[in-house]
């Protein structure tokens, strides 16, 4: 039966090529524009670290003075050095790492005149294990290296290729400004998007090139890059003593019991610090996992959401237009349909036939839409926005494109097909 | 023209009529909001910026030794001024629209700095000749004198400039003192750090728009001596000399500080890069609008052609009983006008509702009222253009059709 309907549909579409082309184009344009924007939105709201995001938590504390305290106010996004180190050394999680972004002057072997700036991250040993960072060679450093303030570094594959060519980078000397570091590991391309572990440097920031122990970096006074919040004097010197929040901290907690225990620990810690006189406010803590943290920070730019909504509005316009064109098409064919009805076809089979025809149109529209979406995403990738490079269509979105196209068209066809079935065959045949 | 028969006919063709109204309403609603968004973005692209935008270039220097800044900066500036074509040069902590920024909350009372709503402003600090190098336009008061530059070093434990004078943009001065003269008044950055306003300049943009469009001009300028807060040099020259000046300047700075990484850009490049995203967004919105209008027009053509085809016999009868071609043409045009009117009325209400929703959820401004009638007129015109083809075909129906059996 379906084969027969398909044949009828094909003939009917061929008979009115201009109308068919218009419908396919309308659906294609609507699908193309909306899929482009939905894909961008989909990529931007994706889980940056699939499988692990529910186990990784970001603790927040409130070390600010009582001045201008309002109940229920959110604690700062970052931690102070003292709190980050206390949480780190408490070792209450499966893994935990303190970190901050920075930039380093890399001096290649060609000499100082070829020096360049590389984005860096100062962190602690667990960073690599906790975030499942893939290594090409070597490994991260140890907690011992953190404590010793060892001059060790983990570098990206890109930097390793640039500095040492194809030969192994592990064990080589990396000159950062005035200091020599030993390369202990090379990591593969790893660039979680959004850049969840430090949104302050940009929601879709690119991968850091150099990772060094945070205590070493602080000792050598390497420049940091972070969103800093201070309540005392703004310091230029020793950040580790400053009354500022400027560090990120992540902890891995595998079971709900561990999460509950950690929440208790944060409250307990806040109380303890208040007794010691360091904290003034009553305990104001939060513990959010990766996706909650992204939502709390409203990572997806409003402009992208607006564009997505506009694209959906556009799709709606295209669908109403398709309803109109299908109605025209089906009603114009009234005569043919009446003949089929008179020959014994039921209303239901005429309805099915019309829907098959619509589905075929939708499929063609989906194909046009797919091409347009691919083009649209290519255009998006040419844009300078940080997230632009991520805009690719994956398998799932490819499927969604066709399902959306066919469903949208079927939805648009329901009404015209129902109208066309209700025509009286006798009356139509008489007027022929 | 009598519109009674049109209503009678439309009642017989409820569904195509409703579809046309719906299409126009949706198109009108989306168009209003899209055009409004476009105009907002275009407004951003053309935001005035009272510096010599065509003549200045930026040289970003990284990787120098902060301890040597005291000697390095005057030496570098002397070298930059020696380049033929350079009319002024200064060291600065950040560049307008350069994205990387240093901001601080300021207040008009010592305790006000701790208040949550105290304005967050961009803290520009430049060395001697800063106003000349940037091309700042003084509206009131004066710029800094030599002593004020020399006296100002960053506090021993803070990034805040040590001097006690500041120049504000007009926009910021108005915000701080809405009905008074800002000149001679005091601002505070920390409870102890106070500055006297000695000058007001025409509005200069901040390095980025983090505070939203209303705070884009909240810039404050401080004098500073040769200290490590200076990360960039600004050189001013004739527009046509900029590329050569940058080329020579980068070479000179790299020879002077072999460890440094120097990047040179004209301000035009910085501004273009800053707004590149906005510009492509504008093009995308324009494209969507054009395609949407085209699709709507196709829909109208399709539906009108259909019912012209259906009513060939009636048209023939009208012609046979004396209606001229023009009458038939006018009939369809009037019909379309009535449908469009219904569509744009619903569309304008929809557009207004969408705007209210977006205002609540996306910090969009209220749409000015004239977007509504403007979109309405656009869709009226579109409707008339779309109906012209089918209406002409209807007008060409010969009266003899009436005599044939349909």
Q: Is some CB atom of chain B closer than 8 A to the CB atom of A411?
A: no
DSSP state of A151: -
Q: In chain B, what are the domain boundaries?
A: 4-46+274-403, 64-259
How does residue B287 score in pLDDT terms, banded at 50, 70 and 90?
Answer: confident
Q: For A169-178, A283-292, A329-338, B164-173, which range has the lowest pLDDT when averaged over its residues? A: A329-338
How does residue A390 score in pLDDT terms, banded at 50, 70 and 90?
Answer: confident
DSSP state of A220: T
ipTM given for this complex: 0.72
Pairing of strands B165-169, B194-201: parallel
> So what's the pLDDT on residue A140?
92
How is residue B1 written in tokens? 């023209």
How does residue A89 score in pLDDT terms, banded at 50, 70 and 90?
Answer: very high
> So what's the pLDDT on residue B202?
95
Would you call B37 and A331 a contact, using CB atoms and an 8 Å cutoff?
no
CA A146 to chain centre: 32
Q: Is some CB atom of chain B closer than 8 A to the CB atom of A110?
A: no
Residue with tokens 């961009």: B122
Which of these, A91, A119, A94, A97, lies nearest to A106 by C-alpha position?
Answer: A119
Which of A31, A310, A332 is best to mutate for the B interface (most B CBs within 10 A)? A310
Min CA distance, B283 vs chain A (Å)? Answer: 11
How does residue B406 score in pLDDT terms, banded at 50, 70 and 90?
Answer: very low
Q: Is some CB atom of chain B closer than 8 A to the CB atom of A107?
A: yes
The 3-state secondary structure of chain B reads CCCHHHHHHHHHCHHHHHHHHHHHHHHHHHHHHHHHHHHHHHHHHCCCCCCCCCCEEEEEEECCCHHHHHHHHHHHHHHHHCCCCCCEEEEECCCCCCCCCCEEECECCCHHHHCCCCCEEEEEEECCCHHHHHCCCEEEECCCCHHHHHHCCCCCCCCCCCCCEEEEEHHHHHHHCCCCCCCCCEEECCCCCEEEEEEEECCCCCCCCCCCHHHCCCEEEEECCCCCCCCEEEEECCHHHHHHHHHHHHHHHHHHCCCCEEEEEEHHHHHHHHHHHHHHHHHHHHHHHHHHHHHHHHHHHHHHHHHHHHCHHHHHHHHHCCCCHHHHHHHHHHHHHHHHHHHHHHHHHHHHHHHHHHHHHHCCCCCCCCHHHHHHHHHHHHHHHHHHHHHHHHHCCCHHHHHCCC
In chain B, what residues touch A115 (CB-CB under 8 Å)? 63, 259-261
Q: For A351-355, B183-187, B273-277, B338-342, which range has the lowest pLDDT when averaged over its residues? A: B273-277
In chain A, what residues touch B159 (CB-CB under 8 Å)? 234, 236
> So what's the pLDDT on residue A237?
63
Residues A355-374: what's their mean pLDDT?
Answer: 89
Q: In chain A, what are the domain boundaries?
A: 2-45+301-431, 56-296
Size of the A and B interface in Cβ pairs below 8 Å? 134
Exposure b/e, A3-14, CB count within 10 A at least 16 = b: eebeebbeebbe
Residues B267-293: what's their mean pLDDT?
Answer: 86
Which of B230, B288, B301 is best to mutate for the A interface (most A CBs within 10 A)? B288
Which of these, B99, B112, B27, B113, lies nearest to B58 by C-alpha position?
Answer: B99
Q: Is some CB atom of chain B closer than 8 A to the CB atom of A306?
A: yes
Which CB contacts under 8 angstroms, 24+ apart, belong to A227-230? A227/A77, A227/A78, A227/A200, A228/A78, A229/A76, A229/A77, A229/A78
The residues near A162 (Cβ < 8 Å, ≥ 6 apart) are: A108
Would you call B295 and A177 a contact, using CB atoms and an 8 Å cutoff?
no
- Considering only CB atoms, B22 lies closest to which of A237, A311, A320, namely A320
Residues A254-264: what's their mean pLDDT?
Answer: 94
Would you call A328 and B363 a contact, using CB atoms and an 8 Å cutoff?
no
pLDDT score of B156 more than 60: no
Q: Is some CB atom of chain B closer than 8 A to the CB atom of A316?
A: yes
DSSP state of A241: G
A194-250 tens-digit pLDDT:
888 988 777 677 788 999 999 999 988 888 887 777 776 555 567 777 778 889 999
Which of these, A289, A389, A387, lies nearest to A45 by C-alpha position?
Answer: A387
pLDDT score of B147 more than 90: no
Would you call B305 and A328 a contact, using CB atoms and an 8 Å cutoff?
yes
| C-alpha torsion sign, points B308, B311, B316, B319 | negative
B94-118 tens-digit pLDDT:
999 987 777 788 888 877 766 667 7
Residues A109-129: what's their mean pLDDT?
Answer: 86
How does residue B377 score in pLDDT terms, banded at 50, 70 and 90?
Answer: very high
For A331, name the nearest residue in chain B, comparing CA atoms only: B306
Would you call A68 and B30 a contact, using CB atoms and an 8 Å cutoff?
no
B44-73 tens-digit pLDDT:
888 999 999 999 999 998 877 777 888 899
Q: Is some CB atom of chain B closer than 8 A to the CB atom of A275?
A: no
Which of B259, B273, B404 is best to mutate for the A interface (most A CBs within 10 A)? B259
Mean pLDDT of chain A: 85
Q: Is some CB atom of chain B closer than 8 A to the CB atom of A423?
A: no
C-alpha dist (Å) from residue A262 to A91, A250, A269, A284: 10, 12, 10, 14
Mean pLDDT of chain B: 87
Residues B371-396: what's their mean pLDDT?
Answer: 91
pLDDT score of A432 more than 80: no
Residues A337-363: what's their mean pLDDT?
Answer: 85
DSSP A90-143: HT-SSEEEEEEEEEEEEE-TT-GGG-EEEEEEEE-TTHHHHTTPPEEEE----H
User: What is chain A's alpha carbon radius of gyration, rounded to the nearest angstrom?
Assistant: 31
Which residue intervals of A209-333 are DSSP H helices?
A: 214-219, 256-276, 290-296, 302-332
In chain A, what residues touch B386 (CB-CB under 8 Å)? none
User: From the CB of residue A133, how many other CB atoms can be counted at a distance below 10 Å?
Assistant: 17
Would you call B254 and A113 a contact, using CB atoms and an 8 Å cutoff?
yes
How does residue B169 score in pLDDT terms, banded at 50, 70 and 90?
Answer: very high
pLDDT score of A116 more than 90: no
> Cis peptide before A194, with omega less than 30 degrees from 0?
yes
Q: For A256-270, B8-22, B39-53, which range has the lowest pLDDT when averaged over its residues? A: B8-22
For A385, name the nearest residue in chain B, comparing CA atoms only: B277
Would you call B288 and A310 a contact, using CB atoms and an 8 Å cutoff?
yes
> So what's the pLDDT on residue A318?
85
Would you call B114 and A67 a contact, using CB atoms and an 8 Å cutoff?
yes
How is residue A13 written in tokens? 């579409």
Q: For A12-26, B153-167, B203-217, B367-381, which range has the lowest pLDDT when averaged over its residues? A: B153-167
How does residue B157 score in pLDDT terms, banded at 50, 70 and 90?
Answer: very low
pTM for the full predicted model: 0.73
For A221, name the nearest residue in chain B, comparing CA atoms only: B66
Which of A71, A311, A324 is best to mutate for the B interface (most B CBs within 10 A)? A324
> Is residue A287 within a helix (H) or strand (E), and if so which, with residue range?
strand A286-289
Judge whether A116 and A106 are in contact, CB under 8 Å.
Answer: yes
Backbone angles phi, psi at A422, to 5 degrees: -80, -5
pLDDT score of A170 more than 60: yes
Min CA distance, B239 vs chain A (Å)? Answer: 25
pLDDT score of B385 more than 90: yes
B349-370 tens-digit pLDDT:
999 999 998 888 777 778 888 9
Would you call A117 and B261 a contact, using CB atoms and an 8 Å cutoff?
yes
Residues A310-326: what's their mean pLDDT?
Answer: 84
Strongest mean pLDDT among A113-117, A214-218, B303-307: A214-218
Judge whether A376 and A31 are in contact, CB under 8 Å.
Answer: no
A282-301 tens-digit pLDDT:
899 999 999 999 888 877 76
Which of these, B223, B201, B93, lies nearest to B142 by C-alpha position?
Answer: B201
* Distance (Å, whole) CA B280 – CA B44: 13
> So what's the pLDDT on residue B116?
62
> So what's the pLDDT on residue A385?
66
The residues near A163 (Cβ < 8 Å, ≥ 6 apart) are: A106, A108, A109, A155, A169, A172, A174
């Amino acid at each position: 039966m379906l084969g027969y309907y398909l044949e009828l549909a094909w003939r009917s579409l061929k008979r009115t090529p201009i109308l068919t082309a218009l419908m396919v184009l309308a659906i294609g344009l609507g699908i193309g524009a909306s899929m482009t924007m939905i894909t961008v939105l989909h990529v931007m709201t994706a889980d940056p670290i699939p499988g692990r995001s529910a186990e990784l938590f970001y603790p927040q504390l409130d070390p600010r003075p009582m001045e201008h305290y309002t109940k229920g106010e959110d604690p700062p996004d970052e931690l102070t050095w003292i709190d980050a180190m206390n949480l780190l050394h408490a070792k209450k999680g499966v893994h935990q790492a303190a970190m901050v972004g920075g930039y380093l002057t890399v001096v290649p072997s060609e000499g100082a005149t070829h020096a360049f700036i590389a984005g860096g991250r100062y962190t602690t040993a667990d960073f690599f294990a906790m975030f499942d960072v893939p290594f090409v060679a070597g490994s991260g450093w140890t907690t011992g290296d953190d404590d010793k303030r060892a001059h060790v570094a983990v570098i990206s594959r890109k930097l390793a290729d640039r500095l040492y060519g194809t030969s192994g980078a592990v064990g080589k000397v990396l000159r950062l400004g005035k200091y020599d570091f030993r390369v202990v590991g090379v990591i593969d391309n790893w660039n979680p998007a959004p850049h969840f572990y430090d949104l302050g440097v940009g929601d879709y920031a690119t991968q850091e090139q150099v990772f060094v122990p945070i205590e070493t970096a602080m000792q050598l006074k390497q420049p940091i890059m972070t969103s800093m919040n201070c309540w005392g004097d703004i310091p230029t010197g020793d950040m580790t003593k400053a009354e500022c929040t400027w560090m990120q901290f992540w902890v891995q907690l595998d079971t709900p019991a561990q999460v509950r225990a950690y929440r208790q620990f944060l409250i307990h810690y806040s109380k303890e610090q208040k007794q010691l006189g360091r904290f003034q406010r009553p305990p104001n803590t939060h513990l959010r996992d990766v996706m909650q943290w992204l939502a709390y920070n409203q990572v997806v730019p409003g402009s992208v959401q607006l564009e997505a909504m506009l694209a959906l509005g556009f799709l709606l316009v295209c669908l109403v237009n398709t309803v109109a064109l299908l109605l025209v098409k089906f009603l114009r064919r009234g005569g043919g349909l009446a003949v089929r009805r008179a020959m014994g076809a039921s209303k239901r089979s005429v309805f099915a036939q019309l829907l098959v025809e619509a589905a075929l149109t939708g499929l063609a529209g989906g194909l046009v839409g797919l091409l347009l979406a691919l083009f649209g995403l290519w255009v998006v990738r040419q844009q300078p926005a940080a997230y632009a490079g991520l805009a690719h269509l994956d398998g799932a979105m490819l499927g969604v494109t066709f399902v959306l196209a066919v469903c949208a068209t079927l939805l648009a066809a329901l009404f015209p097909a129902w109208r066309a079935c209700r025509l009286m065959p006798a009356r139509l045949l008489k007027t022929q | 023209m009598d519109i009674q028969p049109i209503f009678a006919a439309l009642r017989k063709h409820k569904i195509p009529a409703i579809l046309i109204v719906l299409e126009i309403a949706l198109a009108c609603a989306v168009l209003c909001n899209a055009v409004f968004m476009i105009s907002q973005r275009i407004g951003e692209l053309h935001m005035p910026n009272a510096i010599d935008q065509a003549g200045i270039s930026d040289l970003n220097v990284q990787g120098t030794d902060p301890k040597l800044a005291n000697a390095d900066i005057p030496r570098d500036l002397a070298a930059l001024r020696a380049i033929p074509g350079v009319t002024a040069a200064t060291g600065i902590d950040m560049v307008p629209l350069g994205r990387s920024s240093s901001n601080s909350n300021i207040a008009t009372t010592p305790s006000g700095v701790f208040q949550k709503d105290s304005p967050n402003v961009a803290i520009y600090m430049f060395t001697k000749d800063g106003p000349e190098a940037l091309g700042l336009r003084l509206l009131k008061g004066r710029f800094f004198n030599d002593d004020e530059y020399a006296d100002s070093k960053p506090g021993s434990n803070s990034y805040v400039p040590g001097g006690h004078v500041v120049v504000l943009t007009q926009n910021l001065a108005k915000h701080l003192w809405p009905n008074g003269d800002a000149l001679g008044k005091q601002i505070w950055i920390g409870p102890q750090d106070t500055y006297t306003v000695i000058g007001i300049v025409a509005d200069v943009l901040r390095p980025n728009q983090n505070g939203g469009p209303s705070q884009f001009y909240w810039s404050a300028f401080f004098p500073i001596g040769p200290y490590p807060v200076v990360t960039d040099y600004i050189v001013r020259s004739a527009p046509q000399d900029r590329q050569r000046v940058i080329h020579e300047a980068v070479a000179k700075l790299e020879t002077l500080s072999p460890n440094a990484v120097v990047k040179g850009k004209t301000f035009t490049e910085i501004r273009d890069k800053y707004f590149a995203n906005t510009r492509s967004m504008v093009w995308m919105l324009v494209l969507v609008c054009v395609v949407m209008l085209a699709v709507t027009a196709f829909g109208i053509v399709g539906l009108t052609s259909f019912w012209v085809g259906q009513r060939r016999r009636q048209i023939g009868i009208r012609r046979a009983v004396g209606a001229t071609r023009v009458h038939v043409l006018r009939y369809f045009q009037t019909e379309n006008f009535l449908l469009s009117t219904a569509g744009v009325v619903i569309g304008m209400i929809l557009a207004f509702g969408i705007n209210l929703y977006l205002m609540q959820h996306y910090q969009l401004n209220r749409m000015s009222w004239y977007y509504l009638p403007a979109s309405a007129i656009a869709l009226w015109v579109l409707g008339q253009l779309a109906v012209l083809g089918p209406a002409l075909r209807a007008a060409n129906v010969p009266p003899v059709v009436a005599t044939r059996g349909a």
